[in-house]
Chains A and B, each alone.
Chain A
Amino acid sequence: MSILILAEHNNAEVKSSTLNTISAASKVSNEIEVLVVGSNIQRIAKEISNYQHVKKVLLLDDQNFEHAIAEKIDPVIVSIADKYSHIFAPATTFGKNVMPRVAVKLDTAQISDITNIENENTFVRPIYAGNALATVKSNDTKKVITVRPTSFDIVAKEGGSGVVETINFNLSEGHTEFVDREESKSDRPELSTARIVVSGGRGLQSADNFKLISDIADKLNAAIGASRAAVDAGYVSNDYQVGQTGKVVVPDLYIAVGISGAIQHLAGMKESKIIVAINKDEEAPIFNIADYGLSADLFEALPQLSSELDKLNSIEK
């Protein structure tokens, strides 16, 4: 049994989702090979070859693959798929975009977004926004799987001794062209892997008021998140969204401010170790899953929280 993993990176850095995916695959087999597709990525291939469990890195370094266009990547995977019993990718927008294409071309039913592995054929995945867990067995000979990154640890970046093998691929003419990307730049920890997340909802009432959230986040070295309502209202951009169709986060501490707790939002954060809810409405469903609830006006509570954190920091110094 040999597993192929599609690595996620941005031509400059390996995304942590790749490390979670390798870790998940290692529960199925020790024969792990990683496909890295991109442009100017020799260094990335070398880095991944050192990761724990990695036996081989297949490197496709070609200008035509600079932007991760799904229609370009799936033929590469399909061309080498014969050798592998399983093909894994992270269940991020990158992996979600590519893998169903691979699955259908191999005539395989994909198993999306797995959160646990029982054996080589049997996997657990959340359905209905995490309100139920499905244990499913694949009867296909080849398994095509996307992995929920936050459900698996990351592998060590050292300890592996994989070889790097360069491959080539002749692309046929494409019908999709990359135009541009608008990425939020931030010095804060990445939302999906941060140890602490401070999230704001509709209760914040404006984009401007989100400064109250970023102030707390700064003091806790936390990432900022948001409910769908806050994103829809234009307070913050879509990449902040936590929930069923946004990001799934599992931080040590999740602070939900002005978020009522719709099931679609809970789907993205209810596995967090400690949940704090600050909300004016005592009946808000978020309090049912919070370890610590504070029923208060956030416009009073957040400045107080800010000064309490200052006090704490000054004691420590």
Chain B
Amino acid sequence: MKILVTVKRVIDYNVQVRVKADNSGVEKENVKMSMNPPDENAVEEALRIKEDGKADEIIILSIGEEKCQETIRTALAMGADRGILIKATEDIEPLSVSKLVAKIVETEKPGLILMGKQAIDDDSNQTAQMTSALLNWPQATFASKIEIEENTAMVTREIDEGLERIKVEMPFIASCDLRLNEPRYASLPNIMKAKKKPIDIKSAEELGIDIKLRIENIKISEPPTRQKGVMVTDVAELVQKLKYEAKVI
């Protein structure tokens, strides 16, 4: 079985994001970029399934600028086998991403697709669900445990009420939660090896997918800032303030 894993290049999760003065977007010049965190969990899960003897090839797909190759290389250094980059504008919407993924599935025919549950830049949380609907494959979103059996899989999902288990037929698509696993670090020899692994470069155009934006950014603005409050000296003062000043208890 082949596993297709999608990875997105985003501003590193430790970076304090700043809005540009002209409200056209956020500052990306000289900002550290990394793999979207839950995508790392998706890569890790694919590696574990392969190590368990249930898959024989892991393909990493990224969609966006030329530089997304770095993100693909990171996944290859973790142990994935080869990469595909579909060149597109960096602001591509989930609707178009899902169409491109579905297109790749036609030729690669994976038995499983793993994605991160949400990208930490646009926080859309859409691509896995859209891809599932396009392919008419079962979806297992917000997965915190995946157990592959013969022709089915048992997936534990993190939902607002707690945990839910569903049984899905293969092939299926899972969106991975941060609690699914602990992603490994790439070792130096593996980083060297990853440099020789192939990355196939395609474009949205040659795949015949229209990626025109449907949503227009009118402006990107700073959220209202909170004033720093006061430090109290002890618990008694805190309770007094909450009772008589803020009047919330």
Main secondary structure of the interface of A (DSSP, over half): mixed
Would you call B204 an interface residue if the criterion is a C-beta within 8 Å of the partner chain's C-beta atoms?
Answer: no
> With a CB–CB cut-off of 8 A, which chain A residues contact B248?
196, 252-253, 273-274
The reply to whether the CB of A112 lies closer than 8 angstroms to some CB of chain B is yes
Known: A131-B26, A182-B163, A308-B238. 9 other contacts (CB 8 A): A107-B95, A128-B120, A136-B218, A137-B218, A176-B139, A184-B161, A239-B160, A244-B120, A309-B249
Cα separation A295 to B213 with both chains bound (whole Å):
48
Residues of A within 8 A of B125 (CB): 96, 100, 112-113
* Mask: chain A, 208-239; 1 = CB below 8 Å from B; 0 = not: 00000000000010000000100110000111
Proximity bits, A251-274, B CB within 8 Å = 1, else 0: 011000000000110000010011
Nearest Cβ in chain B — how far from A33, in angstroms?
A: 23
Report whether over half of chain B's contact residues are helix, strand or loop; otherwise say mixed: mixed
Q: Which residue of B lies closest to A182 (CB)?
A: B163
Find residues 131-167 in chain A having any chain B CB closer than 8 Å to their own CB. Answer: 131-140
Which among A112, A178, A291 has the highest number of chain B CB atoms within 10 Å?
A: A291
In the complex, what distance in Å separates the CA atom of A176 from the CA atom of B26? Answer: 40
Partner of A129, one of B123, B141, B163: B123
State whether B249 touches A112 (Cβ < 8 A): no
Closest 3 CB pairs between A and B? A291-B229, A100-B129, A109-B214
- Give CA–CA (A244, B116) in the complex, Å: 14
Shortest CB distance B92–A (Å):
11
A-B contact pairs, 25 of them (CB 8 A): A74-B133, A93-B141, A97-B129, A97-B139, A110-B94, A110-B95, A128-B120, A128-B123, A130-B223, A131-B26, A132-B220, A132-B221, A135-B219, A184-B161, A220-B249, A228-B178, A231-B179, A238-B158, A245-B118, A253-B242, A274-B242, A275-B229, A301-B235, A305-B235, A312-B243
Q: Does A53 contact B (CB under 8 A)?
A: no
**Could you tell me if B169 and A290 are in contact, using CB atoms closer than 8 angstroms?**
no
Shortest Cβ distance from residue B239 to the other chain A in the assembled complex, whole angstroms:
4
A101 within 8 A of B: yes
Verify A237–B162 contact, CB threshold 8 A: yes
Bound form: Cα–Cα A231–B178 in Å: 11
* B17 touching A138, Cβ below 8 Å: no
In the assembly, what is the distance between CA of A139 and CA of B17, in Å? Answer: 27
A314 shortest CB reach to chain B, Å:
13
Query: Is A28 close to B, CB under 8 A?
Result: no
- Contact (A253, B167) CB under 8 Å given A127-B123, A181-B161, A289-B228: no
Is B133 in contact with A105, judged by CB distance below 8 angstroms?
A: yes
Q: Mark B3-17, 1 if CB is under 8 A from A, else 0.
A: 000000001010011
Contact (Cβ within 8 A) B141 A135: no
| B157: A residues at CB distance < 8 A | 93
| Chain B contacts with A in 82-107, Cβ cutoff 8 A | 93-95, 98
Interface residues on B, range: 35 or more
Which residues A62-90 have CB closer than 8 A to chain B? 69-71, 74
Q: Which residues of B contact A113 (CB under 8 A)?
A: 123, 125
Q: A140 contacts which chain B residues (CB < 8 A)? A: 214
The residue of chain B having its C-beta at the shortest distance from the C-beta of A231 within the complex is B179
What total of A-B pairs shows CB separation below 8 Å?
253
A292 within 8 A of B: yes
Considering the chains assembled together, what is the distance between the CA atoms of A252 and B246 in angstroms? 10
Q: Mark B162-178, 1 if CB is under 8 A from A, else 0.
A: 11111111001000011
Known contacts A108-B214, A135-B219, A178-B166, A196 near B138 by CB under 8 Å: no
* B188 proximal to A (CB < 8 A): no
Q: Complex: how many Å from CA A136 to CA B122?
A: 12
A110 to B159, CA, bound (A): 21
Residues of A within 8 A of B123 (CB): 112-113, 125-129, 244
* The residue from A107, A139, A247 contacting B215, defined by CB atoms under 8 A apart: A139
Q: Does A293 contact B (CB under 8 A)?
A: yes
**Given known A-B contacts A133-B223, A309-B239, A181 and B167 have beta carbons under 8 A apart:** no
Residues of B within 8 A of A98 (CB): 129
Contact of A100 with B130 in the complex, beta carbons under 8 Å: yes
The verdict on A111 contacting B239 (CB below 8 Å), with A132-B223, A238-B162, A294-B231 known, is no
Contact of A104 among B98, B234, B242 (CB under 8 A): B98
- Give the shortest distance, in Å, between B85 (CB) and chain A (any CB): 23
Q: CB distance A183 to B221 under 8 Å?
A: no
Docked pose: A97 CA to B117 CA in angstroms:
11
A76 CB to closest chain B CB (Å) equals 13
Interface presence of A175 (CB below 8 A): yes
Residue A187 at the chain B interface, CB threshold 8 Å: no
* Chain A minimum-CB-distance residue to B243: A312
B234 contact set on A, CB distance < 8 A:
294, 296, 304
B160 and A192 form a contact (CB under 8 A) = yes
